[in-house]
Amino acid sequence: MDYSAKMLRDDALKGKVIVVTGGGSGLGKAMTKYFMELGADVAITSRDLEKLKNTAAELETETGGSCLAVQCDVRHYDQVEAMLAEVLKTFGKVDVLLNNAAGNFISPTERLSANAFDTVIDIVLKGSKNCTLAFGKHWIDSKQKTATILNIVTTYAFTGSAYVVPSATAKAGVLAMTKSLAVEWAKYGIRSNAIAPGPFPTKGAWDRLLPGDLAEKFDMSKKVPLKRVGDHQELANLAAYLISDFSAYINGEVVVIDGGEWLQGAGQFNLLEQIPPEMWDMLESMIKAKKNK
């Protein structure tokens, strides 16, 4: 099966204007490319304007679409407002906000400085809040009929996770915001949903999180029941669907796309998968022997 195949028809996002935070590389870039292939105009934002401009030029060449690079540090509300103003000046409107910008550290929590903890909280939670609030106010004040917020969270937003405590804390907050606004802002025609991805390796992020040979030692595919990691196009397919009009009745939902990884870790007896078939035969024989006594 070709997991990199594209799902929606070519004009599925035609006429939509989408803002992708953290859109200059990795999964943000992959989603942006597919949105443009489906006919959308996309603005990508991050702190690194040079990288954004290179990505925008590359994607415009590859897709024939329009991509606007806007420098913005989502931690600062005034910069978010300025970014929104620039998008509106260029495209005249905005239909979708995709909160994708993130930061993370893999570390024992006691080794983190207060500043390191704050950095992740500020990018993930405060940044998502800043963008959501600025865009939401604009949509409500301008009486736009429909709009969509899509947040990228993670499966440990449900459960928490050791060694990524700032990220878990921030993503849990974004998840709560997603569900809360799905109810509160629905009356304004604003849908709010989220995606919780499992392992989708990106060179930049994974090199920082698992440097050297750690990535090999902690082979994420071994934790996934499907025995593979995700292809970027699979995530882009899901994101495109959730921001398209085809998903107009989906609101307040968090879609997990992880090959079953989260459920495998949650099930109390899932470790029994490590028992080989011949041992199951032996156990079954022992149980039958006891019954026959």
Query: Would you please indicate which residues are annotated as catalytic (active-site) residues?
Result: 156
Q: How far apart are alpha carbons 99 and 243 in whole angstroms?
A: 12
Distance CA 37, CA 43 (A): 14
Amino acid at 148: T
- Is-contact 102 71, C-beta < 8 A? no
How far CA 36 is from CA of 56, 204, 234, 249, in Å, comes to: 11, 23, 16, 23
Spatial strand order in the sheet of 17-21: 67-71, 41-46, 17-21, 96-99, 147-152, 190-197, 254-257
What span, in angstroms and rounded, lies between the C-alpha atoms of 284 and 30?
Answer: 49
Closest listed residue to residue 43, CA positions, set 20, 26, 22, 24: 20
Alpha-carbon distance of 243 to 238, in angstroms, equals: 9
DSSP states of 32-99 as a string?
Answer: HHHHHHTT-EEEEEES-HHHHHHHHHHHHHHHS--EEEEE--TT-HHHHHHHHHHHHHHHS---EEEE
Structure tokens at 89: 């000046």
